[in-house]
């Protein structure tokens, strides 16, 4: 359990390093500390939920389906927060 938690934390940190490094080289990436906080929360909660799914769901088909739904949900929320593809108030528009 502790090892999986450390892996999830490590993956979240590595993913968040990409925009941090990119912001050093270009003005196109303009993240605030709130952006990093929201992204960390989304990635961390997705990782923990995926861990829960992989631990508790025994049927492989259900496992795959729930994992895909979870990841697609993360990507849709991320895209909405990034560029506002649905035009909701979450995008800051």
Tokens of 83: 């560029």
The pLDDT score that the predictor gives to residue 84 is 82
Say whether pTM exceeds 0.85.
yes
Q: Does residue 93 surpass a pLDDT of 60? A: no
Q: How many CB atoms lie within 10 A of CB 66?
A: 18
The pairs formed by 67-76 with CB atoms below 8 angstroms and a separation of 24 or more are 70/46, 71/46, 74/42, 74/43, 74/46
- Give per-residue pLDDT as tens, 44-82: 999 999 999 999 999 999 999 999 999 999 999 999 888
Q: Report phi then psi at 31, rounded to 5.
A: -90, 140
């Amino acid at each position: 359990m502790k090892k999986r938690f450390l892996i999830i934390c490590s993956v979240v940190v590595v993913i968040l390093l990409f925009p941090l490094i990119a912001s050093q080289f270009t003005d196109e990436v303009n993240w605030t500390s709130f952006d990093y906080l929201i992204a960390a929360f989304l990635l961390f909660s997705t990782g923990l939920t995926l861990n829960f799914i992989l631990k508790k769901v025994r049927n492989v088909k259900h496992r795959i389906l729930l994992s895909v739904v979870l990841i697609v949900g993360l990507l849709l929320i991320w895209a909405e927060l990034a560029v506002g593809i649905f035009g909701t108030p979450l995008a800051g528009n």
